[in-house]
């Protein structure tokens, strides 16, 4: 069963949640939620192209998509930045001291949302008319 629309809807919902977290000053969670949005958007693209998808690494998820449809450099760079938010945004032992909430800032959150938005926009176009 193809679930690309479900993955894409969840990606959009998480992008909206990331914006709310940014606005509330929860920057580490905003960054993590933006990463989750991008992950689900890429899984939507994989579903649409009927590419098996496993794992959480955005750089790995985007590779087979790029083999079928060229992925813009902007989206690849966004994946690379967002990929870094999967663990350190949530676990205090990712840093030698301080909670994740102390390690991320409004500029990180802004960039994460821009990046997730770029990935989601790309994923919506995958498999569509050329």
Q: Is the pLDDT of residue 4 over 60?
A: yes
CA distance 78 to 73: 8
Predicted confidence (pLDDT) per residue in 49-66, tens digit: 999 988 999 999 999 999
CA distance 46 to 49: 5
The per-residue pLDDT for 128 is 66
CA distance 103 to 106: 11
Predicted confidence (pLDDT) per residue in 5-27, tens digit: 999 999 999 999 999 999 999 99
CA distance 119 to 15: 11
- Cβ burial of 93 (10 Å; 0-12, 13-18, 19+) is exposed
Share of the chain above pLDDT 90, in %: 93
Regarding pTM above 0.85, the answer is yes
Q: Is the pLDDT of residue 130 over 60?
A: no
Domains and their CATH numbers in the chain:
4-125 (1.20.120.330)
CA distance 35 to 45: 15
The mean pLDDT of the chain is 95
Predicted confidence (pLDDT) per residue in 66-107, tens digit: 999 999 999 999 999 999 999 999 999 999 999 999 999 999
């Amino acid at each position: 069963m193809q679930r690309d629309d479900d993955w894409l809807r969840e990606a959009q919902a998480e992008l909206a949640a990331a914006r709310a977290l940014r606005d509330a000053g929860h920057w580490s969670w905003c960054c993590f939620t933006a990463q989750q949005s991008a992950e689900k958007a890429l899984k939507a693209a994989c579903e649409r192209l009927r590419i098996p998808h496993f794992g959480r690494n955005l750089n790995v998820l985007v590779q087979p998509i790029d083999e079928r449809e060229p992925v813009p450099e902007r989206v690849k760079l966004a994946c690379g930045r967002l990929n870094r938010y999967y663990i350190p945004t949530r676990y205090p032992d990712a840093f030698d001291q301080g909670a994740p909430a102390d390690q991320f800032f409004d500029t990180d959150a802004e960039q994460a949302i821009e990046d997730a938005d770029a990935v989601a926009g790309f994923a919506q176009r995958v498999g569509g008319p050329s």
